[in-house]
Amino acid sequence: MTSASDTPETTVTDTLPSVTVFVCTSCGKTSNDPNGPASRGEILLDRLTKAAKPHAHIKTQAVDCFAVCTREVTIAFSAPGKWSYVIGDTDPARDIDDILTAATAVANAPHGVPKLKERPAFFRTGVISRIPPRD
């Protein structure tokens, strides 16, 4: 029998396949003043980055512009060797948990293409395009 005190301290290792969530920080910008209010994209990135901390396989990254612009906030999922999805109309007040759920679904899907039932609402309605891995 092993008591709790026999167990060395460990860091929980996240062994899920990795995935990057890109977030457009130009989306919803209302001011060009660097000290002005944060854009909706910046707010989403900030909230998502904090919420993603316990999920070591999910990396977040700011993007200047996806060249979409009419469907803010635009984000993208990208994982090694898998299809990438560009998705618009995400909402920092509504979609943070669902974006994390979807990121994990992309990471776990063999080709990065989650089944429809694994796609939260924002993913089912927001897809702008997808692109295959190069190899």
Among positions 85-124, residues that touch a copy of itself (CB under 8 A) are 85-86
Which listed range, 3-11, 26-34, 36-44, 84-92, lies at the site for a copy of itself (CB under 8 A)? Answer: 84-92
Query: 10 Å Cβ neighbour count for 39?
Result: 20
Q: What is the DSSP letter of 47?
A: H
Q: Does 125 bind a copy of itself (CB under 8 A)?
A: no
List Cα–Cα distances, 114 to 41, 92, 106, 121, in angstroms.
24, 22, 6, 13
CA distance 128 to 94: 19
- Joined together, the tokens standing for residue 49 give 């980055």
Q: Does 84 bind a copy of itself (CB under 8 A)?
A: yes
Q: How many residues bind a copy of itself (CB under 8 A)?
A: 23
Query: Which residue number, 54 or 80, has a Cβ lying nearer to a copy of itself?
Result: 80
In this structure, the strands spanning 127-131 and 58-63 are unpaired
CA distance 33 to 103: 32
Among positions 55-74, residues that touch a copy of itself (CB under 8 A) are 61, 63, 65-68, 74
Which listed range, 3-11, 49-57, 77-85, 95-103, lies at the site for a copy of itself (CB under 8 A)? Answer: 77-85
Residues lying near a copy of itself in the complex (CB under 8 A) are found at: 20, 22, 61, 63, 65-68, 74, 76, 78-80, 84-86, 127-132, 134
